[in-house]
Amino acid sequence: MRCALGFAVLALSTSLSWGAEPTLAQRQADARQQRNELRERIQVLQKQIDSQESSRRDAAQGLKASESAISSINLQLAELAARQHKAEHELKELDGQIAKQKKQLSQRQQELGDQLRAQYASGLSPWTALLSGDDPRVIGRDLSYLGYISQAQANAVRGVRRALDRLAALQHRFEANKKELVQLAQDTTAQKKQLEEQKAERQKVLERVDGLLAEQRGQAQRLEHNDKRLGDLVVDLDKAIAKQAEEARIAEAKRKAEAARKAELARQAALERRQALERERAAARKAEQEALLAQERAQRRKNEKDAEQARLQVEEARAQARAAERAAARPAPPETVETEPAKGQAAVGGSSRLAPTGGFTGLKKGAPYPVRGDVLGRFGAERPEGGLWRGIVLRSPEGTKVHVIAPGRVVYASWLSGFGNIVIVDHGAKYLSVYAYNQSLLKRVGDVVEAGDIIATVGATGGQVDSGLYFEIRHQGTPVNPLLWLRQ
C-alpha cells in the first residue's frame, strides 16, 4: 500500500550505497536531497498555478447606483410630461370657457343696452307717469310695467356682474396654468440635463467595467476552474508521490540486490575457506601417517592446534555470512532528518516524527471533525454562485484550531486561488484530506502528523466573507462525501 510522499522518508533508508554501510551523515545528506527534490516539484506546481491567476474587481454596485438614478429620472420626466399634457388640456378648456364667457357678457351688455334705449325712447319713468295727468289706473298700470322693466334691468346688471366675475376667475386660472406650464418646462429641462449626466456617468462605468461584467457572468465557470485547479494539483501530487515511491522501490531493490551479492560473496569465501581447511587436514593426516612414532604426540598437538584455528576461521566465516544475510533481510532504520522549510510554505515549527514502516493505511470511517461548527455547504448540493459543492463548509470563528482527522504526511501547504491558505494531507491508500480558507498554516510540506494534531487556524482567505473551514476528502483524485467518513 502506497503512502503518499511517505516514501520521501523511506527513500532515506533505502538510498544506501553499493559499497560499505553508509554513515549517519551520509544518510542525512541523502534525506535532505530527497526532501528538497520533492519540495522543488511542489514549488514548480505552485508557480504554474500562480501564473494563471489574475485579480478581479466587482463593479455591479457602481452600475446599480447609476442605472437606478436613470430609472428614477425617467419616471420623473414621465410624470412631468403627464402633468404638462394635463395643464395644456386644462388651459385649452379655460381658453374656450373665457371666449364663451366673453360672448355671454356681450349678450348681457347688449340686452341691458336695448332695455335702456327702449325705456328712453318710450319716455317711461316714474316721474313722467305721475306728472302726465293721465288716468290714475293707466298711471298705475304704467308704473307696474316700469317695475317689471326695472327688475329685468337689475337682473341684467347682476348677470353682467356675474359674467365679469366668472371671466376674471377664468383669466386668473389661465394665468396660473401658464405659470405652471413654464415651471414644468423648466423642471423638465433640469431633469433632462440630470438624465444626460447620469447617462454619461453610466457610460463611464460601463466603459470601466466592460471586461469585468463578462467575468462576473461566468462566475460559475470560474468556480469549476477552481475545482479543476485543485483536482489538477491532486493529480500532479499523486504523480509526484508515485514517482517518489518508484524511486524508493528501485533504490530498495538495488540495496537488497547488493546485500544479496555481498552475502553470496561471503558464502563463497566461507566455502573456499572450508575447502582449504579440508585440504590442510588431509595433508596433516598424510603427514601424521608418515611422521615418526616419536613425533606422534607433538604432531597430534600441532594438528589439534591447527584444527582449532581452522574451526575458528570457519565459525568466523559463518558469522559473517549470517550477518550479511540479516542485513539483506532487515530494512535499515529511518533516520531523523533536519530540513529547512521550502520557500513560500507557511509553517510553525517542523516535525521530527517518522512515517510507520509499512506506510500509512488510509482513512477509516468515524474520524473526528477537523473543527466544530454548523455545516453550511453540503456535498453535491448546488452552490449559490454556481457549480456543486465538492466538500463541506464548517462555520467556525476566526483563529479556531484545525485538527487533522487521521495520521498522514503533509504534501501541500500554500495559498491557492479560490481556496486561500490550504493544507493537503496524504493518509495513504490514495486518500487525501483538504483543509482550505485557513488564516494560518502551522505545518510544512513533508511533516508527519498524527490524528488530532493542529495543522492550521480557521480564517476567511481566498475571497471569503465569513470565517470557516472548507473540508474535502479525495480518493484516487475524486471527491467523496466527507460526512460519510466523519464521526456522527
Among 435, 357, 364, 376, residue whose Cα is nearest residue 401: 435
CB 297 within 8 A of CB 309: no
Q: Given this model, what pLDDT does residue 428 score?
A: 93
Q: Given this model, what pLDDT does residue 139 score?
A: 66
Classify residue 174 as exposed, middle or buried by CB count within 10 Å of its CB (0-12, 13-18, 19+): middle
Please name the residues in contact with 404: beta carbons below 8 A apart, sequence gap of 6 or more: 370, 425, 433, 435, 449, 450, 451, 452, 453, 455
Eight-state DSSP code of residue 367: B
Residue that is last in its domain, among 181, 208, 235? 208
Give the span between the Cα atoms of 332 and 329, in whole angstroms.
10
Residue with cell 378648456: 93
Indicate which CATH number applies to the domain containing 152: 1.10.287
Within a domain: residue 465? yes
Within a domain: residue 100? yes
Quick one: cell of 119?
325705456
pTM comes to 0.42
3-class SS of residue 96 = helix
Give the span between the Cα atoms of 354 and 336, in whole angstroms.
7
Within a domain: residue 120? yes
pLDDT 10s digit of each residue in the chain, 488 long?
444 444 443 443 444 343 445 666 676 677 678 777 767 776 776 676 665 554 444 544 555 665 566 676 777 878 888 888 888 888 888 888 888 888 888 887 787 787 777 767 766 566 565 566 666 776 667 667 767 777 877 887 887 788 788 888 888 888 888 888 888 888 888 888 887 887 777 667 666 656 655 555 565 566 667 777 777 787 888 888 888 888 888 999 999 999 999 999 999 999 998 899 888 888 877 877 776 776 667 666 655 665 565 455 445 544 544 454 455 444 444 333 333 333 333 333 445 678 887 789 999 999 999 999 999 888 988 887 778 889 999 999 999 999 999 999 999 999 998 899 999 999 999 999 999 999 999 999 999 999 999 999 999 998 888 999 999 999 998 999 999 999 87
Q: Given this model, what pLDDT does residue 326 score?
A: 54
Q: Given this model, what pLDDT does residue 195 score?
A: 74
Within a domain: residue 190? yes
Please name the residues in contact with 14: beta carbons below 8 A apart, sequence gap of 6 or more: 248, 251, 252, 255, 331, 332
388-409 in b/e form (b: 16+ CB < 10 A) is bbbbbbbbbeeebebbbbbbbb
Within a domain: residue 126? yes
Within a domain: residue 412? yes
Among 44, 41, 54, 59, residue whose Cα is nearest residue 240: 41
Q: Given this model, what pLDDT does residue 388 score?
A: 87
CB 248 within 8 A of CB 10: yes
Q: Given this model, what pLDDT does residue 472 score?
A: 96
Residue that is last in its domain, among 156, 174, 208? 208
Within a domain: residue 283? no
Give the span between the Cα atoms of 484 and 488, in whole angstroms.
9
User: What is the residue range of 186's domain?
Assistant: 60-208
CA 11 from chain centre, in angstroms, equals 37
Element (H, E) at 38: helix 24-50
Q: Given this model, what pLDDT does residue 340 score?
A: 36
Within a domain: residue 417? yes
* DSSP per-residue codes, 241-298: HHHHHHHHHHHHHHHHHHHHHHHHHHHHHHHHHHHHHHHHHHHHHHHHHHS-GGGHHH
Residue that is last in its domain, among 150, 181, 208? 208
Distances (CA, A) of 99 to 41, 166, 173, 181, 446: 98, 12, 14, 21, 102
CB 423 within 8 A of CB 410: yes
Quick one: cell of 190?
433640469
3-class SS of residue 420 = strand
Give the span between the Cα atoms of 198 and 186, in whole angstroms.
18
3-class SS of residue 23 = coil
Indicate which CATH number applies to the domain containing 473: 2.70.70.10
Residues facing residue 421 across a β-bridge: 415, 438
3-class SS of residue 481 = coil
Q: How many domains does the chain have?
A: 2
